[in-house]
Amino acid sequence: MTQIAVIGMGAMGSAVANVLRSGGADIVTSLEGRSQETRDRALSNGIREVDWATLVKSDFILSIVPPSQALSVAHQIANEMANSTPSACFVDCNAVSPQTMSDIASLFGGNIDRVYDGCIIGGPPKVGKPGPHIYVSGGGNNVVDALVKYGLDARPLDSAIGAASSLKMCYAGINKGLIGLATAMMLAASENAADSALMAELSESQGELLKKFGVGVPDMFPKAYRWVAEMKEIAGFLGPENPASAIFVGMEGLFQQMAADRAGEGELSFLLSDMLKMQPSHGSVNRYDALSNGNFDEGSKGLEAVRSARESQDLDALEDELEEGLEDSFPASDPVSATVSSIPGRGGKH
């Protein structure tokens, strides 16, 4: 029976271990210094605890830990593997930069062919269901074959060590960067009394993004402490000469703030959750929509929530029709044609 060691019994590590065990592999781990909760999670899933000397005699070792722990775990494994014959293939599956992955590989000295670069994209897997994509670079087709055999979606990258880490940095920069951006701007909107208006506008014009934020932002709260180091890795991946690296330095600070909030009273988390629950009123209150519905004039009582003109015809389409000489399409009393026609260079006779 193939023995696979999984280091890290967090949400991802324990889920990966459970799928592999359910697929028929013998799964072992080290629980040295781990909390009782972690121990219970591992043992309840049928994962055996072994000492380090036994662990490194496994066929494969998967490191699935927070980025901040990746180097220290690799260092301990490398030391144990140096005294073990035969020894396992080590796969670092953590969200680290190619530079950090190179440092990890160097710990294993001349045994570089036993070290592979991996990354996991997606949420924790479940038995019998499509799971995350696990990419492996630097060789390791035997690793990929074993992971697939025991139930995971593993894919080889025909590139050297660093390719899988680069993929993870780019994907996480987009995916988690969007969550960080939403978090920052939602908090700013709340601080400046624009929260309800922002959520209404997102609901109307960015519905798919809002759905993503509705899941991704709350899901980030308990993970923020892990994302701090990941943002630092992404900034390092881009490098100091790339101006975009400053974005992720800022994200590092943002997630540090959210991690502190989580450890404290959770004020920011509650605020963001409440914003995401806001139900937009039926319509909007911007000046154009008011004009398009004919309810804004000197005698009106002000702007009222009305159905958006976007729901019937987009402003650009209206302007295009005017430019094409179709002013007759609108009655003279229609406020949209009157407003748009008055724009210099737009329709009308000027």
For 138-158, the pLDDT digits (tens) are 988 999 999 999 999 999 999
Question: In the prediction, which pLDDT does 110 show?
Answer: 63
Note the pLDDT tens digit of each residue in 86-112. 678 999 999 999 999 999 999 988 666
The ranges of the chain with pLDDT < 50 are 282-350
Polymer length in residues for the chain: 350
Distances (CA, A) of 38 to 9, 31, 32, 41, 47: 6, 8, 10, 5, 11
Q: What is the pTM of this model?
A: 0.77
Q: Which of 293, 298, 286 is nearest to 313 (CA)?
A: 293
Question: Residue 279 burial by CB count (10 A; 0-12/13-18/19+): exposed, middle or buried?
Answer: exposed
Specify whether domain 3-161 bears CATH 3.40.50.720.
yes
- Asked if residues 28 and 47 have their Cβ atoms less than 8 Å apart, the reply is yes
Looking from the CA of 33 toward its CB, the CA atoms found within 13 Å total 4
Residues 128, 66, 236, 268, CA torsion sign: positive
Query: What pLDDT does 111 receive?
Result: 61
Domain ranges in the chain are 3-161, 166-276
What's the rounded Cα separation, in Å, for the pair 108 and 101?
12
